[in-house]
Amino acid sequence: QVQFVESGGGLVQPGGALRLSCVASDSIFRIYVVGWYRQAPGKQRELVAHITIGGSTNYPDSVKGRFTGSRDNAKNTVYLQMSSLKPEDTAVYYCNTDPPQNYWGKGTLVTVSS
């Protein structure tokens, strides 16, 4: 299994921006489709960005136009640029393969609040 370590979360005001990073443990990550997921308190984990091996992306309507996923295969790293953040974006954010492996990292907490 590929292990991922997420970072970059924090407290941000509504309308603000954050960039999350996720480093994979193995270069084999390059052959996987990956995704950014989030889990808000009391809710199920949901996919918020789908990133193909070549870097094409897809997003649910809830974040489309505000979130941008990307990957740097040379650095074994995946990114999530988030802008125009809303309080409902508050969640723990994870990266994983898509579909996801059973193993999940610790994630990084994003809190959107004034």
- Output the 3-class SS for 61-84: CCCCCCEEEEEEHHHCEEEEEECC
User: Which pLDDT belongs to residue 109?
Assistant: 98
As a whole number of angstroms, the longest Cα–Cα distance in the chain is: 40
Please state, as a whole number, how many other Cβ atoms lie within 10 Å of the Cβ of residue 67.
22
Task: Report the C-alpha dihedral over residues 18, 105, 94, 36, rounded to 10 degrees.
Answer: 120
Burial class of 82 by CB neighbour count within 10 A (0 to 12, 13 to 18, 19+) = buried
Q: Which two tokens stand for residue 28?
A: 């084999």
- The span from the CA of 70 to the CA of 86, in Å, is 21
| pLDDT digits (tens), the chain, 114 positions | 889 999 999 999 999 999 999 999 988 888 899 999 999 999 999 999 999 999 999 999 999 999 999 999 999 999 999 999 999 999 999 999 999 999 999 999 999 999
